[in-house]
Structure 1
Amino acid sequence: MQSVFIELTKYIFAFLMAFYVLSAYRGAIIHKEEKRKGIYVQQYIIIFAIHFLGYYVLYIMKQDVKYIGFYFVQLIYLIIFIAFYYILYPKASRLLVNNMCMLMAVGFIMIARLNFDKCVKQFVIAVLGTVIMFMVPWLLKTVKSFRNFGWIYCITGLVLLCAVLLGSKVYGANLTLSIGAFSVQPAEFVKILYVMFVASMFNKSTTFKQTCIVTAFAALHVIILVLSTDLGAALIFFVVYIAMLYIATRKLVYAGAGLIAGAGASVIAYKLFAHVRARVIVWRNPWEYIDTSGYQICQSLFAIGMGSWFGYGLCQGMPDKIPVAEKDFMFSAISEEFGLIFSIALFLVCLNNLILMMNIASRCKTLFYRLVAVGLGVTYGVQVFLTVGGAIKFIPMTGVTLPFVSYGGSSILSSLIMFALINGMYTMRQDEGDRKDGRKQKAGQTKKKQKCTERYSR
């Protein structure tokens, strides 16, 4: 009976996730908030159903009551997360909030399946990050001078990246900075500072001189990351700058020159760094190095292929055979146990987030906020592309995490802050729209009064 139930859950997970994706995209094309309320209810039901079913299967398979206790703690967190966001920021994008909850719920399930202790740590950091996240939209609305701190963002970011050079190496790259028993990945937070720096500088001016200055300091960020051999972050920074440069200047020449320079820098990095060459060689033919450097990507491909459309079932596969599965190869681990339908739907949820972010950016009237929204959106989109693309061998593996899903305290904390900034700008846009509608309504009432006065005078 137990095996029949586990077999049945494979199909339930896949169909629930597929229905969630349909509701997310339906919500994205509906403009009236009133019509979205039914979609929100559907999403809540699916999120809590997947979360409950995942932990129920974990309890059955592990036969440990701690999974039940941990489930209820997470359930309370998700309810408070959704309720507080709605109470504090009723005009925020609830589609983005729901997508965050869905991604975190899936991440908690999969991390708990791989390593319960790491999941507890991830959850604690998520709770602390949520407290910070609730403050960000209020700060963005209250402190109007954020757009004037360009050099502060730049200097702070560069100092943090330089500090990483003195940190410990992780799989051949300087990624973490240890402070006592704690370790952080500064590049996760510098991404946000970097976007704020570029947006602040271009908000002041887009002259050729200003563009050269911003380009030089943006390139300095990338160079330090390359020296740290944190190539995934370096690529994200580069693509984000090209996107923001084009949005700010509207000059294809600048973007084209940047792409050419990036291509040249890639060749130089390949020649200079053995770490880069090794990843490219393994990417081209991992099977030749399956017993050594190609083992990780080969196991990833095995996991995706053997999972097929509906997966082995939660706790039925062997995702723990993939080295560092909970970080770099979470997409592969999910594909093996939940199946390709589920993992593709998960990727489409991430794509839905990107679409919502770009939509918010397109409606921002202030250049600074528009550039910040574009920069954060591109940061998120490129990170998802690098993670999924590396797992399926579409591109060389870069060692970045899948936001909200993969294990990593710095990753989930920075992702929460990024989404809070986006939602803060969405709330500000909604307030501007309400004020504009109010002025129109007031002007209409004034005209009506004038007409009534004219008729009475006649």
Structure 2
Amino acid sequence: MTASSTPHAPPTAPKARRHRTELWLLGFAVVLVTVALLTVQAAQDQPFSWDLLQYILGFVVLFGIAHVAIRVLAPYADPLLLPAVAALNGLGLVMIHRLDLTARGEVTNLATSQVMWLAVGIAAFVGTLWIVRDHRTLSRYSYTLGLLGLVLLILPIVLPNSEARGGAKLWIQTPFFSIQPGEFAKILIIIFTASFLVSRRDLFTTVGKHFAGIDFPRGRDLGPLLAAWAIAICVLVLETDLGSSLLIFATMLAMLYVATERVSWMLMGLSLFAAGAVAAYFLFGHLQDRVSIWLDPFQSPDGAGLQILRSLFALAAGGLFGTGLGSGYPSQVPEIHNDFILAAFGEELGLVGLTAIVLLYLMIVMRGLRAGIGVRDSFGKLLAAGLAFTIAIQLFVVLGGISKLIPMTGLTSPFLSYGGSSLLANYILIALLIRVSNAAREPDAPKKAAPAAPVSALPTQVVKHS
């Protein structure tokens, strides 16, 4: 009996190894964040304080809760997603605390607020895993979620208590806090786009005209592309936000290409966006100001060009290995704790440290795409691809903004930057990716053996006697 059961490994063995891998990597993230916090304290000649211990304990407890939630609600999920997020979030907390210590003439406590928002984000993460037990159920409500996403996008435009920051009208001010609805809208639009493309995929891939070696879709099938273009241009014009416009359009275009595998969609999408952006440039003065500052920030070195110029100086000062954590001057860059926090890492950790951070992001993107490849249903494949692409595109837009590759945008670095809306939305995004990866890695249920037929039902056999 013992020998016969040996070849069959218990089904929990691979799952247990995944949990141990995730736990060890989370432990490494905790050690990394703790050492970084102590390094900042030493570099700034600050003693070990109770606040510092609170940050470390809060970080450990919150990600311990997240690990347990995955172990219970998504036991087969990718073990690398949560540790990569923890490392990024922890490094962001370190830099925010470092900026608190050197605030220019102000008393700030952004790190404490960030830990509180982290707690809310982890609660949203656990809640999403608890509510969405099967990612395929989201496709049933795709049109409702898509409509809600559009409503969230236009809320800052129509509400009287909206607030403009950095020239972009993206925030809604409440008596207790500010919220950026567009951060949540991007997730809802991705869910709708994935469901819509799955339902129309055959039509998009089989019908069309062949011209110059390229398959072009019919005019009546251009609805999704035109809708994405219209949403992106409206956000660009009405909210003066180039970052969100690029993020929404590029994500939808990438999902359209994944669903159809047609290069013609990419060519038409890029052409439409370029034509719309050029037209908006000549029609609206605020876009002309953005582009002129991007082309020549020295025309206003103490005004609109100050942020990008100081960002470039910070990156140049960092060089290859940086000035050392806690030993630079990142507080000289206005609003560096938001969309320019990567410039702070570029100064103090140099190109090597900034590359390591980018690799953490790319790990999340790669594992998200891998989950999309492994999952069996088409909706899950497109959903994972859209969620992974939106992180990759957001990283590109942020890096392009701080290095003057593209005009400055209002996007924040996921999990690194200070802010509640971005942190909360990105934890919901990661929870959905973990749900898809769990479905991709979950083993098939063992097939039940057919019940043995009774002896009376067995066929009669003629046995030849030798």
Bucket of the pairwise TM-score, normalised by the shorter protein = 0.7 to 0.9
Q: 1:368 Cα deviation (Å)?
A: 1.4
Inter-partner Cα distance in structure 1 for 2:137 and 2:62 = 33
Which SS does the other structure have where 2:222 is aligned? Answer: helix
Is residue 59–residue 68 contact of structure 1 (8 Å, CA) maintained in 2?
Answer: no
Which runs of 5 or more residues in structure 1 are unaligned?
1-31, 447-456
**SS of 2:80 mapped into structure 1:** helix
Give the 5 Å matches for 1:22-421: 40=22, 43-60=25-42, 61-63=45-47, 64-115=49-100, 117-142=109-134, 144-166=136-158, 167-206=162-201, 207=203, 211-226=221-236, 227-421=238-432
Q: 2:439 aligned with 1:428, yes or no?
A: yes
Change (3 A) 1:135 1:65: closer
* C-alpha contact (below 8 Å) 1:174/1:230 kept by paired residues: yes
Is the CA contact (8 Å cut-off) linking 1:361 and 1:371 kept in structure 2?
A: yes
Where structure 2 has 5 or more consecutive residues not aligned to the other structure, the ranges are 1-13, 101-107, 204-217, 453-462
How far did 1:129 drift? 1.8
Structure 2: how far apart are the matches of 1:409 and 1:211?
Answer: 38
Deviations 1:357-404 (A, max 9, x none): 111112232221111111111111000111112112222221211100
Counterpart secondary structure, 1:149: helix
Compared CA separation, residues 77 and 306, structure 1 to 2 (3 A) = same
Moved more, 83-92 or 108-117: 83-92
Mapped to 2, the partners of 1:442 and 1:278 lie a distance apart of: 71
Deviation at 1:93, TM superposition (A): 1.0
Aligned-pair distance for 1:301?
1.1
- Cα distance, 1:142–1:160 mapped onto 2, change above 3 Å: same
Q: Deviations over 1:6-60 (max 9, x none)?
A: xxxxxxxxxxxxxxxxxxxxxxxxxx87887886566344312221112223444
The alignment partner of 1:327 has SS state of coil
Kindly indicate which of the two structures has a greater share of residues assigned to helix.
Answer: 1
Q: Take 1:144 and 1:394, find their aligned partners in 2: how far apart are those partners?
A: 38
Structure 2 equivalent of residue 18 of structure 1: none
Task: State the TM-score, normalizing by the size of structure 2.
Answer: 0.82
My pick for the range that moved more, 123-132 or 190-199, is 123-132
The offset of 1:442, in angstroms, is 6.3
Q: Distance in 2 between matches of 1:199 and 1:104?
A: 28
Which moves more between the two structures, 293-302 or 308-317?
Answer: 308-317
How many angstroms apart in 1 are the aligned matches of 2:439 and 2:17?
A: 22
SS in 2 for 1:174: strand
Looking at structure 1, the residues matched to 22 and 150 of structure 2 have their Cα atoms a distance apart, in angstroms, of: 41
Shift of 1:326: 0.5
Q: Matched residue of 2:196: which SS? A: helix
Letter in 1 for 2:165: V
Q: Distance in 1 between matches of 2:84 and 2:220?
A: 38
Which residue identity is paired with 2:234?
A: I
| Deviations, residues 91-113 of structure 1 (Å, cap 9, x unaligned) | 11110111011001101111111
Q: Is residue 161–residue 224 contact of structure 1 (8 Å, CA) maintained in 2?
A: no
- Which 10-residue stretch deviates more, 48-57 or 409-418? 48-57
Distance 1:314 1:114 in 2: 11
> What is the distance in 2 between the residues matched to 1:351 and 1:253?
27
| Aligned-residue offset at 1:128 | 1.5
Letter in 2 for 1:218: A
Structure 1 residues 417 and 41 mapped into 2: Cα distance closer, same or farther (>3 Å)?
closer
SS at match of 1:168: strand
Q: Alignment RMSD, CA only?
A: 2.8
How far off its partner does 1:238 sit? 0.7
Cα distance between partner residues in 2 of 1:33 and 1:389: 40
Residue identity in the other structure for 1:408? G
Identity of aligned residues (%): 29
User: What is the letter of the counterpart of residue 422 of structure 2?
Assistant: S
Deviations 1:124-180 (A, max 9, x none): 122122122123234333575421223212221222222111322112111101222
CA distance change for structure 1 residues 225 and 45 in 2, over 3 Å: closer, same or farther? Answer: same
How far apart, CA to CA, are the structure 1 residues paired with 2:135 and 2:351? 45
Counterpart amino acid of residue 305 in structure 1: A
TM-score normalised to structure 1 length: 0.83
Number of aligned residue pairs: 415
